[in-house]
Amino acid sequence: MDTSLPRVSAQASVVAARDRKCVRWRLPSGGKRRPGVLDATRAELVRGLEQRQGSVWHRISRAVIVAGYPIERALNRVRALRADGAESLLAMTVALLYLADVRTGFIGKPRPERGPWQRYALPDLAQLAYGAQGEAELRRARRSLDMLVSLGWIFPTKQVRRHQEDGSFRSEPAVRRLNLARLCQMTGTSWLLSRDRQHADRIRGPGTASIEGSRQRRQERQQAAHGLGWAEDKRRRPAATGDPPSVPGGPQAIANILDLLGKG
């Protein structure tokens, strides 16, 4: 009886090696000056996730979900975060950190012609974080985003479907926002975030859409739509049934009929 381990084909070994390739976080290209809180937060993330030092590593190594597992198993972590998972998480977090607006956490870039900011699709994020858009990189990006959501570093979102003129639907990347307040709180850079946000307000003005403001406006629209629908339903609803309306002379007419029948 052959008790040796089964041999792995060369093709399978190449695929496994490609899926487990090491990734390295990277700074965005260009000499654009960025708020100091981004560099300080990135340095603490590198210290925690790459060097496994400081409070960041101890707070997330056993709290983050096991990406790629079913939800009933993803929350029950037995061992600490593996090195390749920490590398993927760090690369994606650094990429999102330098893509986000410091005041709102919105992940995107302004359009040259103004208007709504351009949002990033999953392949774009995989390219920026891991340098490629293959199946392995897309899968790595999805898992990293799931880990970020479990840590509360980004807000969970859904895909947006837009109706086209030909009657079809086209999926667009959902709006993602980085939770800078929680991220900076965990890395000890909250005071820098407050300083840079105040500076941005002085330079650009306070006219920036906030998360709470958009949520409040959405609730107001839902309440208004609910009230309008209730009023419309009330108009369409038939009148409540009850006692029949009284007919003038009704009892007297009945008495006359009975009297005639009695005389007949």
154: nearest Cα among 92, 110, 197, 215:
92
Q: Once rounded to an integer, what is the mean pLDDT over residues 158-179?
A: 74
Q: What is the DSSP letter of 9?
A: P
Q: Which of 69, 46, 38, 45 is nearest to 146 (CA)?
A: 69
Q: Where are the beta strands (DSSP E) in the chain?
A: 108-109, 118-119, 160-163, 169-172
> What pLDDT is stored for residue 111 in this prediction?
75
Q: Which pLDDT tens digit goes with each residue over 143-155? A: 999 999 999 999 8
Euclidean distance between CA atoms 169 and 242, whole angstroms: 50
Question: At residue 243, what are phi and psi to the nearest 5 degrees?
Answer: -65, 140
Q: Mean pLDDT highest for which of 1-5, 60-64, 74-78, 88-92?
A: 88-92
* Mean predicted lDDT score pLDDT of the chain: 77
pLDDT of residue 12: 45
CA pair distance 182, 179, nearest whole angstrom:
6
Q: Which of 131-135, 167-171, 172-176 holds the top average pLDDT? A: 131-135
Q: What's at 224, amino acid-wise?
A: A
Among 77-86, 114-123, 164-173, which stretch is predicted with the lowest mean pLDDT? Answer: 164-173
Between 221 and 19, the more confident residue is: 221
Instruction: Please say if the pLDDT value at position 259 is more than 90.
Output: no
Check whether 247 has a pLDDT greater than 60. no
Distance from the Cα of residue 15 to its chain's centroid: 31
Rounded mean pLDDT of 194-207? 83
Task: Indicate whether 7 pLDDT > 80.
Answer: no
Here the tokens at position 244 are 């029949």
Query: pLDDT at position 206, please?
Result: 61
Q: What is the pLDDT of residue 248?
A: 55
Mean pLDDT, residues 75-95 taken together: 88
Predicted pLDDT at 227: 62
Query: Per-residue pLDDT averaged across 16-31, rounded?
Result: 68
Query: Nearest CA to 90 among 136, 130, 49, 126?
Result: 49
Which of 69-73, 207-211, 217-221 holds the top average pLDDT? 69-73
Q: What is the pLDDT of residue 254?
A: 75
Lowest-confidence range among 30-34, 216-220, 233-237? 233-237
Beta-ladder partners of 118: 109
Closest residue by Cα to residue 36 from 183, 194, 178: 194
What are the two backbone dihedrals, phi and then psi, of residue 120, each rounded to the nearest 5 degrees? -100, 130
